Structure 1
Amino acid sequence: MRNGGDLVVETLQALGISTVFGIPGQHALGLFDALSRSPLRFISSRVENNSAFAADGYARATGEPAALFLSTGPGALTSLAGLEEAYATGVPMVVIASQIPESGLGGRRKGMLHQLDDQKESARNVTKFQATVHKVSAIPYAIEDAWRQAMTAPQGPVWVEIPQDVLLQETTIPAPKDLDTTVPAVRGHTPSLRRAAALLSGAQRPAIIAGGGVRRSAQGSAELLKLADALQSPVICTPGGVGGFPVDHPLSLGSWIEDVAVTELLEAADVLLAVGTSLGEVTSNYFTMAPRGEIIQIDAAYQVLASNHPGLGIRSDASLALAAINRLLDPIPDKPHVSGQVAQVKGTIAHRLDQQDLANERAFMAAIRAAVPTDMQTFWDMTIAAYWGWNVWDPQEGQFHSAQGAGGIGFGFPAAFGGAIGLGHRVLAVSGDGSAMYSIAELAAAAQHNIPVTWLIIDDGGYGILREYMTDTFGKATHTELHRPDFVALAQAFGIPTRKTDLAGLEDCLSEALAADGPNIVVVETLLKMWDPTHLGR
């Protein structure tokens, strides 16, 4: 007989989900037994937060959601840090968490293993949608509703929990077929879009900030390029928007969002269009940016509109809003090309870097870019290298992914692991030695599944970015230095080829690793520093 677990996997399959990440657990055994009768592919991790990061990386790389199976209590709670990143960045996934038997729900009256007072409440801060299924007949409908929430902009993870006895209950309910997988379009109100088009048509000094919503929207980048060319507007990408606008375009300021020269240009705009971004901490240069002109903010999450700067807020999918504005623009008289102004700002940034002792850092980033194929996707942990990547990385034909949403460490390797699973070909993960320790257990999973992922570990002896923050603030760093393992010997214990190199040999060593089969690691011993985005030197 089929049971509730079968209904779960059958519904996921009917919704187009093909891959499940997770770790088995006592109350979730019905789910995993059902997988044995299903064509769904299961990828085991070793720690639940890494399973969440892997599902996140899968969705970022493919544009399709994965499922995440979690056990009750400790397993469910361990996933929350990974889910926070997906929620903050707008990455869809469907989380199916088990629960204690139905009779024990609601407080501690039964004293069951793994029991929480309210497990679903624990997920409320890091998921878009939460539901507890009490009857087997409700399983397909709850999952269908959750999936639609996950896929509707702003996308994000959703949470459905099912008691152990409901998962194991026999059922004759037919397997779902031909489900409607249409996702509601999130469109801005026409009067507001007309107002935005009128403001931009009359702007003399427009500027555009492109966030992650542009990248995630199907035609967002194409519509943004069309609008920028029509307006002759400089475009700056946020860390989440890296690659949303061509880096080599004459109107592109790249992603130097933290540089004071870019902040000054944005402040001077008579109309500032922010699309797919909350204009949050990093994007506003740590809340120092003070725009003097009109602001138009487009985002699929209405909660962020005008939350940091007053202006014309429009809730919409980025590509739909940009396409509408492109159609509604008034005829724009010929404007002087502003590429010279953009080049001047970029020249100021380059001069600023030249005046600081950053040859090591610039050579490091150049070596990685030279080694990585133009179409390869890369996944960056919260390390100094990622902070550089936010500003200097040109994704070319690939994609740049980092944990800039929630900012937790440990994202890089498991997210790359998931990305490689989804794509079926090699990706690159970049971590520091501190963040790498969060993910060491997943070397076993990478070896077990023979995942084509190359992991670049930057060994600088500690939490490098925290070392810099503390030294800058207090004159010294405290408790940032780390005892590290011999990464080469440790990885080889898992059967994973690993090489150690210095900066001079990084490009060649990384190129060889990226051309190999299966998982491998490159360890580079170097100390990276941050740059000063305000100081021109003497």
Structure 2
Amino acid sequence: MPEAGSAVRNGGDLVVETLSALGATTVFGIPGQHALGLFDALTRSDLRFVSSRVENNSAFAADGFSRATGQVGVLFLSTGPGALTALSGLQEAYATGVPMVVVASQIPIEGLGARRRGMLHQLDDQKASAANVTKSQRLIQHASGIPSAIQDAWTEAISSPMGPVWLEIPQNVLLNPVMVPAVEDALAEPFDNPPRTELVKEAVRWLSAAKRPAIIAGGGTRRGRGEADLLALAEKLRAPVICTPGGNGAFPWNHELSLQAWIEDRYTTEVLEDADVLLVIGSSLGEVTSNYFTLAPRGKIIQIDAEPRVLESNQPALGIRADAGQALSALDAALGQALADAVREGSPRQPSDWHGQAPEQVVAQTLQKVSARLDSQDLDMERQFMADIRAAVPAGMQTYWDMTISAYWAWSCWDAKSGQFHSAQGAGGLGYGYPGAIGGAVGLGERVLAVSGDGSAMYSIAELATARQHDLPVTWLIVDDGGYGILREYMVEAFGKATATELAGPDFVKLAESFGVPARRTAPDGVRQALVESLAAEGPNVVVVEARIGLFAPTHLAP
């Protein structure tokens, strides 16, 4: 180990030099005994370090940073308990396709595989614990292998399907002096993932002949930056488009072909079922997107996804393994050419015909039916509450939503406008909203909004210290209903009563103020004004609303 104050470089320096050369600007994490070489090396780099209070929140913050900026999130973890605590945060990034490079420390190399030595933090196989929540796992046993391993991990993280990649480095490899020269450059380019030509041609044949095409835009559409091609393709086909929670914002909310995001409503499900060709982009047609597996398409399905295991996992389809953005670009170009050729040959594509109606009429009528269904329920307060939040939030502001009833509403009714909508629907764990927003604020250098319930807020309440320490512009809206509200609703619906859903909680206003974070309490009808003022303030702040927000009735059931 180098003496204090020496200029000897070590394995930790190779880590931070390589990350800097690859374009990293920020690292999230918490120091730990075996990882000290990483953190000491940070002092000799230009990388910014943001220390959370819980490792799982560090993972969420790195995820939120990546989603907000499009950059790779970087996470430093200590051995054993620190590494394990971050796993549920990594599950969200893995499920949602967020590129991250995770560098975890390990016990000294001579202790690997020798459980009997009883080293502090020792696991039998630490990287095996990460196998379910990361794309791949690597153990680096020699300092000379560090730059290439990190470069390879970065390449894998940004290649579709994107996701977190796990590296671990023993304590002594990080601390021992190295002869390897300083890293001067590193290059990581994503692997190309285009669609196969014959599959594009077949998809275009189906779409060109379709009378009632419809489109589901999933999260892969956003990750692949396919929004412009999606719009062009939908307009060529005159196809109704609905966005999943992960795809929210991929298609203009008020476009005449937009079914918006009411993916859980039976009326929109019926439109999708009636399509003779259903184009599914960047979605597995999973639980929420399929309206809880009630979606039963009667036409053909074209499914595009970068993850081959997703294809046809829930419905038979023409599966196209490709990056969603590349696939949309190829489809739009090929369809444009096919339509132009058809016109030139005197057999132009016939207009879409939904049983005698134009697709724009079907979209308008469907949204009216959705609205009428909501009108028939006692949801005036909830709908006004969500409308007031939307009215208070600037159009370009990014928002982060925890797994809470307000987020369930937002999945369906939130118009992302020119901002970005981020939620934890990938893995569905609690506690994402606030640390994710912290990462977004760090990356953007501008204000973001986090929305949590009182139950989920307690998972990340310690991060008020992080926000205060770094003076981050995060406004945190906490909807306090005294328990796990969504689970309460589910249990009452299923069993007629709720069990273990009621929570003793703190006074969130006083608790925030004890961290030095300004906070206020308001009734639901005051949330708009409270947010307008808080979003215009400096530094972190909290808005608490004490209210029971109900959820719209289970519209996956037949009306």
> Which stretch shifts more, 34-43 or 525-534?
525-534
The CA distance in 2 between the partners of 1:474 and 1:48, in whole Å, is: 36
How far is the alpha carbon of 1:109 from its aligned partner?
2.4
Counterpart secondary structure, 1:419:
helix
Return the match for 2:259 from 238, 250, 253.
Answer: 253
Structure 1 letter corresponding to 2:459: Y
Instruction: Name the counterpart of 2:313.
Output: 307
Instruction: Name the counterpart of 1:263.
Output: 269
2:316 aligned with 1:316: no
Instruction: Name the counterpart of 2:355.
Output: none
2:227 aligned with 1:237: no
CA deviations over 1:145-182 (Å, ceiling 9, x no partner): 11111000011001000000000111121222232222
Show structure 1 runs of 4+ deviating over 3 A. 533-538
5+ unaligned residues in a row in structure 1: which ranges?
none
CA deviations over 1:337-363 (Å, ceiling 9, x no partner): 411110010011000000000001001
The CA distance in 2 between the partners of 1:294 and 1:536, in whole Å, is: 23
Identity of aligned residues (%): 65
Structure 2 letter corresponding to 1:514: L
2:280 aligned with 1:274: yes
1:181-196 matched pairs, under 5 angstroms: 181-196=188-203
Return the match for 1:417 from 435, 438, 451.
Answer: 438
Instruction: Name the counterpart of 1:496.
Output: 517
Is 2:266–2:556's contact at 8 Å kept on the other side of the alignment? no
Cα 1:535–1:127 shift into 2, 3 Å? closer
CA deviations over 1:94-148 (Å, ceiling 9, x no partner): 1000000000101412110000000000000000010000011001111111111
2:356 aligned with 1:335: no
1:372-451 matched pairs, under 5 angstroms: 372-451=393-472
TM-score (norm 2): 0.95
2:113 aligned with 1:101: no
Counterpart secondary structure, 1:273:
strand
Instruction: Name the counterpart of 1:30.
Output: 37
Instruction: Name the counterpart of 1:16.
Output: 23
Structure 2 letter corresponding to 1:244: A
2:71 aligned with 1:64: yes
Counterpart secondary structure, 1:241:
coil
1:32-51 matched pairs, under 5 angstroms: 32-51=39-58
Instruction: Name the counterpart of 2:3.
Output: none
The CA distance in 1 between the partners of 2:58 and 2:402, in whole Å, is: 15
Counterpart secondary structure, 2:516:
coil
Is 1:212–1:240's contact at 8 Å kept on the other side of the alignment? yes
Is 1:94–1:159's contact at 8 Å kept on the other side of the alignment? yes
Structure 1 letter corresponding to 2:461: I
The CA distance in 2 between the partners of 1:107 and 1:349, in whole Å, is: 61
Return the match for 1:367 from 385, 388, 396.
Answer: 388
The CA distance in 2 between the partners of 1:265 and 1:333, in whole Å, is: 21
The CA distance in 2 between the partners of 1:416 and 1:14, in whole Å, is: 26
How far is the alpha carbon of 1:535 from its aligned partner?
9.0
The CA distance in 2 between the partners of 1:351 and 1:325, in whole Å, is: 36
Is 2:385–2:524's contact at 8 Å kept on the other side of the alignment? yes
Structure 2 letter corresponding to 1:242: N
Structure 1 letter corresponding to 2:203: A
Structure 2 letter corresponding to 1:291: P
Structure 2 letter corresponding to 1:174: P
1:482-493 matched pairs, under 5 angstroms: 482-493=503-514
